[in-house]
């Protein structure tokens, strides 16, 4: 079977694309991407060519772009090119050159794909890249997900050459007499991936001359195993996680303690929320301890609360502060709407959603914010000052809900209302009150 026939079979087996799809080809000018371009052109696909100049090799990078441009011109297909200051991007975002180049090119590919109405972006990675990715992931430690290597299809990115190894690519390019360019940086062992390609894989191939195909087969098994695992974990998550508010999940601590193997399943259950193994290890050790502890990822927070673990998005922890600039202003904070008013009617409104204050004591602007460490106020009906944290404890408000309670702060810094629980005694209506400032919460 020819390489062209094998490509058609692979595209069909992996459901990568259909003959009528428009494919944007990511072409660097190397032998892999040049071969991919010719294969897709011969198969009759509607294609375009996208090339990134990362400005890392001076005139060599420019020569790569010229070759790819000539290839597009010869085939009569659209050519899209861009240039990046990759080193500046890497410095600014504090990432490696390789990661910078990856982020830049995939963001640009998606821009071209959507703006020019292509269905997929095709990247010319082959089996050797597959093997390198697996070994790199093993060295760095990425868990079971990393054992799948490179996925043939992820979103709108397809990798149609994963059925070929580097030797087969080289042989096909030579037989076809295709012109390509080598990137000298691919032969430098200062990069981890190159070191694996040039030094480690050749040694492993001594033990198994069919290393690429063997590992590719094993990675397919890993991927199937991982899919089965995720089905099990998804069902377990649906059973254990109870959504009690938008984005707020409650999980029984007893169920988490009984998991076996516990740390492995904790990681799989909470991995979609960005928690690392180290943080979940701390959670596992704390499950039988006192409540109140919290564990953070970049996007979410876990709270221990008596017999439950509560999972919430970080953005839900603390709302942005808003201000009431003058009587009559209407504002919104954390799902609460506040309507203000000022009048000479000194009658008492006992509704829990309404707070009334002596207007002459108000200092504008009045702020609405979350609880902060060290907050104190003088609760109506109580003597002296009380820490807001102690007040929450007396009301049995869980630690994870403290930041969702609106706190109204007078312009002089005094807390005047912990909504809807208690007003401050210093600002209540008295017999001397002439005007009343009213806040109604809905």
Buried b (16+ CB within 10 A) or exposed e, 366-383: bbbbbbeeebebbbeeee
- DSSP annotation of 162 reads T
Measured on CA atoms in the order 241, 318, 334, 404, is the torsion positive or negative? positive
Q: Which domains does the chain have, with CATH numbers?
A: 3-222 (3.40.50.620), 241-316 (no CATH), 322-441 (3.50.40.10)
Say what the pLDDT of residue 372 is. 87
Average of pLDDT values for 145-165?
90
Dump pLDDT digits (tens) for 83-116. Answer: 999 999 999 988 888 899 999 999 999 999 999 9
125 vs 395, more confident:
125
Confidence of residue 426 (pLDDT cuts 50, 70, 90): very high
Say what the pLDDT of residue 185 is. 67
Rounded distance between C-alpha atoms, residue 154 and residue 119, angstroms = 13
How would you class 284 by CB atoms within 10 Å of its CB: exposed for 0-12, middle for 13-18, buried for 19 or more? middle
Number of helices and strands (H, E) in the chain?
15, 22
Q: Which of 69, 65, 75, 67 is nearest to 43 (CA)?
A: 75
Average of pLDDT values for 365-374?
90
Q: Which of 368, 388, 366 is nearest to 379 (CA)?
A: 388
Instruction: Say what the pTM is.
Output: 0.63
- Listing DSSP states for 409-429 in one string gives E-TTS-EEEETTTEEBGGGS-
Dump pLDDT digits (tens) for 11-56. Answer: 999 999 999 999 999 999 999 999 999 999 999 999 999 999 998 8
Average of pLDDT values for 253-276?
92
Confidence of residue 212 (pLDDT cuts 50, 70, 90): confident
Confidence check: pLDDT of 284 > 80: yes
149 in Cβ contact with 131 (< 8 Å): yes
Confidence check: pLDDT of 316 > 60: no
Say what the pLDDT of residue 256 is. 94
Say what the pLDDT of residue 184 is. 64
Sheet-wide strand order for 248-252: 242-245, 248-252, 308-313, 300-305, 294-296
Q: Can you give 61-111 as a three-state secondary structure string? A: HHHHHHHHHHHHHHHCCCEEEEECCHHHHHHHHCCCHHHHHHHHHHHHHHH
φ, ψ for residue 326 (rounded to 5)?
Answer: -165, 160
Confidence check: pLDDT of 58 > 70: yes
Confidence of residue 312 (pLDDT cuts 50, 70, 90): confident
108 in Cβ contact with 82 (< 8 Å): yes
Sheet-wide strand order for 366-369: 322-324, 366-369, 407-409, 415-418, 422-423
What average pLDDT is seen over the chain? Answer: 89
Confidence of residue 78 (pLDDT cuts 50, 70, 90): very high
Binding site members: 28-33
Say what the pLDDT of residue 333 is. 87
Query: Percentage of the chain surpassing pLDDT 70?
Result: 97
Among 226-240, 339-353, 359-373, whose mean pLDDT is lowest? 339-353
Confidence check: pLDDT of 354 > 80: yes
Say what the pLDDT of residue 251 is. 95
Rounded distance between C-alpha atoms, residue 438 and residue 435, angstroms = 10
Say what the pLDDT of residue 319 is. 61
Confidence check: pLDDT of 417 > 70: yes
CB atoms inside a 10 Å sphere around CB 138: 12
Binding site members for ATP: 28-33
Say what the pLDDT of residue 147 is. 80
317 vs 327, more confident:
327
Say what the pLDDT of residue 315 is. 63
Which residues contact residue 63 at a Cβ distance below 8 angstroms, ignoring those fewer than 6 apart? Answer: 181
Residue 258 to residues 283, 288, 306, Cα–Cα distance (Å):
14, 11, 16
Confidence check: pLDDT of 318 > 60: no
Give the max Cα distance, the chain. 100
383 vs 47, more confident:
47
Instruction: Return the residue matching tokens 């660097």.
Output: 28
Confidence check: pLDDT of 63 > 70: yes
Rounded distance between C-alpha atoms, residue 128 and residue 169, angstroms = 10
């Amino acid at each position: 079977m020819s390489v062209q026939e094998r490509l058609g079979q692979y595209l069909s087996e992996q459901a990568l694309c259909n003959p009528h799809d428009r494919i944007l080809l990511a072409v660097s000018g190397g032998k892999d991407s040049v071969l991919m371009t010719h294969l897709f052109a011969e198969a009759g696909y509607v294609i375009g060519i996208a090339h990134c100049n990362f400005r890392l090799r001076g005139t060599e990078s420019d020569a790569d772009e010229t070759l790819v441009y000539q290839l597009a011109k010869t085939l009569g297909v659209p050519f899209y090119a861009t240039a990046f200051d990759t080193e500046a991007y890497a410095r600014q975002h504090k990432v490696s050159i390789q990661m910078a180049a990856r982020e830049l090119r995939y963001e640009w590919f998606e821009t071209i794909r959507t703006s020019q109405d292509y269905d997929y972006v095709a990247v010319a990675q082959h089996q050797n890249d597959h093997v390198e990715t697996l070994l790199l992931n093993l060295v760095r430690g990425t868990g079971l997900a990393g054992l799948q290597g490179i996925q043939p299809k992820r979103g709108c990115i397809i990798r149609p050459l994963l059925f070929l190894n580097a030797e087969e690519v080289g042989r096909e390019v030579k037989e076809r007499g295709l012109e390509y360019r080598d990137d000298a940086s691919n032969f430098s062992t200062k990069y981890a991936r190159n070191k694996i390609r040039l030094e480690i894989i050749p040694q492993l191939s001594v033990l198994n001359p069919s290393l690429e195909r063997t590992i590719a087969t094993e990675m397919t098994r890993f991927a199937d195993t991982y899919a089965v695992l995720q089905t099990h974990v998804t069902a377990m998550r649906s059973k254990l996680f109870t959504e009690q508010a938008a984005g707020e999940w409650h999980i029984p601590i007893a169920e988490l303690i009984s998991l076996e193997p516990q740390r492995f399943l904790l990681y799989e259950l909470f991995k979609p929320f960005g928690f690392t193994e180290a943080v979940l290890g701390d959670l596992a050790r704390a499950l039988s301890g006192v409540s109140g502890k919290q564990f953070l990822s970049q996007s979410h927070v876990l709270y221990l609360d008596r017999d439950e673990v509560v999972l919430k998005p970080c953005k839900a922890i603390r709302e942005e502060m808003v201000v009431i600039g003058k009587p009559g202003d209407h504002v919104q904070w954390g799902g609460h709407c506040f309507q203000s008013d000022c009048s000479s009617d000194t009658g008492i409104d006992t509704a829990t959603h309404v707070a009334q204050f002596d207007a002459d004591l108000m200092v504008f602007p009045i702020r609405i914010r979350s609880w902060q460490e060290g907050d104190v106020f003088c609760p109506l009906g109580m003597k002296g000052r009380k820490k807001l944290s102690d007040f929450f404890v007396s009301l049995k408000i869980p630690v994870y809900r403290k930041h969702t309670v609106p706190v109204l702060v007078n312009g002089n810094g005094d807390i005047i209302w912990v909504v809807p629980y208690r007003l401050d005694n210093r600002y209540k209506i008295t017999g001397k009150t002439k005007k009343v400032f009213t806040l109604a919460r809905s």
